[in-house]
Amino acid sequence: MPAEHALHAPGLKRMKRHNGRVDLYWVADEKLVAKGFTPKTVRLFGEWPSQEIASRCAILQAEMLEWAAGREPGRNAFALGTIGWICRAFETDDDSPIHERRRDTRVFYGKYIRHLVEAAGDEHMADIIGRDVRRWHRTWTDELGERGAYACIQTLRRVVNYGCELRDRDAIELATVLTKTTFRQPRARKLRPSHEMIVALRAAAHEAGRPSIALAVTLQFELGLRQKDVIGEWDRPDAEARARIAGAITDGAWVWDWGLVWNHIDGTILRKPTSKSNGNEVAEHDLSHYPELLAELPPRGVGPLVIDERSGLPWRRSHFSRTFREIARASGWPDGIWNMDSRAGAVSEAFEAGASPADVMRTATHTQMSTTMLYNRGSVVQSGRVAELRTARRKAKPAG
């Protein structure tokens, strides 16, 4: 388990009860609560220290700060032309492209923008050269790992590109430097669940009284759907946008969207607009070909297919992730295989079964074959089939 001093959990409070039990809470800033922010506190489940608790606190803190940024008048306290200035402009300008992104993406950007500001907020873009960026990358690699460091670099490129939109000379020059300063991309993930692992997880989910987890993972593995397109996401629109929303599933200020609902299924045909494409691509499947999935489907109803049994509402992403991991461990999954790998399992199994690349690409709703191949993690089975074909050809070839 990670050492407590190595984890950062903003807003974490521990309350010791009379019986000696220690309860964990995330507590919002009192000043923002006074201005209307909710929730004031959130109960956290698990043991501290843990990466799960730290991540949950970071997400809640980011949500609070995002609310504050929309509530408070826009202020940019950084000096003009600095990294901190362009980061703040990217996050708060009314015309910034960040507002076109979904909430999860905005939170993702915000997480790595904080690392940019910590490392180089006061650095003027005019003074930055590739050597500086490489030095920051080494520091981020030590602190955040290979993937986190690469995410910082990509976020730096995004915010500097926004400076180019503003025709800031220093941003334009730095953008050119960044195009010439290349970094090795993190290695693609190689792990994915097998069909046998999915079967084991389904059994463990039912035993734990969580059939919704069994259904969600089966939908991802059988149909190659993304987690967000199955369980959806909760967003917190501003007051003006919230006033225009009618007929949606809500929980206080939160609104649920993008998840799978019964209206996406007509008879046995499922048609689901995908979140990754903002609804431009549609996943289409005939469910009659998937008996294991049909066995997991509850009786037809209305609204979302996948519901948290305890709350009666669609799952919150972080709660779903924690519950999934508990069940996955109980079923024998190693921690190195994630729920998101279920989609790669679908693609890999399809290739192993001999499906044509074009059909697999369409099933996964990809627009480029290169993307589909990133999800293909069945190299040994597929290379073995190639070897068998080559051997058979040699045997059939006339001698001489």
Q: Tens digits of per-residue pLDDT, 118-176?
A: 999 999 999 999 999 999 999 999 999 999 999 999 999 999 999 999 999 999 999 99
pLDDT of residue 70: 57
Query: Of 317, 333, 349, which residue constitutes the final position of a domain?
Result: 333
Is there a domain that residue 362 lies in?
no
> Are 159 and 18 members of one domain?
yes
> Are 158 and 63 members of one domain?
yes
Residue 359 CA to residue 232 CA, distance in Å, equals 26
Query: Worst-scoring range by mean pLDDT, 7-21, 128-142, 212-226, 376-390?
Result: 376-390
> Are 204 and 121 members of one domain?
no
> Are 167 and 304 members of one domain?
no
- Reduce the DSSP state of residue 304 to 3 states and report it: strand
pTM of structure: 0.68
Q: Tens digits of per-residue pLDDT, 90-107?
A: 998 889 999 888 777 888
pLDDT of residue 347: 87
Is there a domain that residue 151 lies in?
yes
> Are 262 and 158 members of one domain?
no
| pLDDT tier at 394, thresholds 50, 70, 90 | confident
User: What is the chain's mean pLDDT, rounded?
Assistant: 87
> Are 21 and 157 members of one domain?
yes
- Residues contacting 204, CB < 8 A, separation 6+: 327, 328, 330, 331
Neighbours of 168 (CB within 10 A): 21
pLDDT of residue 72: 44
> Are 273 and 235 members of one domain?
yes
> Are 176 and 273 members of one domain?
no
Residue 394 CA to residue 400 CA, distance in Å, equals 12
Query: Of 152, 180, 208, which residue constitutes the final position of a domain?
Result: 180
Whether 4 has a pLDDT exceeding 50, the answer reads no
Average pLDDT over residues 113-121: 94
pLDDT of residue 379: 64
| pLDDT tier at 37, thresholds 50, 70, 90 | confident
Mark 205-240 as b/e (b = at least 16 C-beta within 10 Å): beebebbbbbbbbbbbbbbbbbbbbbbbbbbbbeee
pLDDT of residue 210: 97
Query: How many domains, in total, are found in the chain?
Result: 2
Query: Worst-scoring range by mean pLDDT, 56-60, 70-74, 117-121, 320-324?
Result: 70-74
- Reduce the DSSP state of residue 283 to 3 states and report it: strand
Query: Worst-scoring range by mean pLDDT, 119-133, 233-247, 333-347, 379-393?
Result: 379-393
Task: Quote the tokens at residue 366.
Answer: 């990809």
Query: Worst-scoring range by mean pLDDT, 45-59, 137-151, 207-221, 325-339?
Result: 45-59
In the sheet where 282-286 sits, what is the strand order? 265-266, 269-273, 282-286
Is there a domain that residue 344 lies in?
no
Whether 229 has a pLDDT exceeding 80, the answer reads yes
Is there a domain that residue 379 lies in?
no
Query: Of 300, 333, 366, which residue constitutes the final position of a domain?
Result: 333
> Are 108 and 152 members of one domain?
yes
Scan for tokens 């809470």, then name that residue: 25
- The range of the structural domain enclosing residue 66 comes to 4-180
User: What burial class does residue 24 get, using C-beta atoms within 10 Å of its C-beta: 0-12 exposed, 13-18 middle, 19+ buried?
Assistant: buried
> Are 237 and 280 members of one domain?
yes
Is there a domain that residue 52 lies in?
yes
pLDDT of residue 247: 78
Is 190 or 140 the better-scoring residue by pLDDT?
140
Is there a domain that residue 188 lies in?
no
pLDDT of residue 225: 92
Is there a domain that residue 97 lies in?
yes
The domain that holds 305 is classified in CATH as 1.10.443
Residue 318 CA to residue 310 CA, distance in Å, equals 15
Cα 18 to its chain centre, rounded Å, is: 39
> Are 155 and 14 members of one domain?
yes
Is there a domain that residue 9 lies in?
yes
Q: Tens digits of per-residue pLDDT, 278-329?
A: 888 899 999 999 999 999 999 999 999 999 999 999 999 889 999 999 999 9
pLDDT of residue 384: 67
pLDDT of residue 381: 63
Whether 218 has a pLDDT exceeding 80, the answer reads yes
> Are 154 and 221 members of one domain?
no
As a whole-number percent, the residues of the chain with pLDDT over 70 amount to 93
Whether 212 has a pLDDT exceeding 70, the answer reads yes
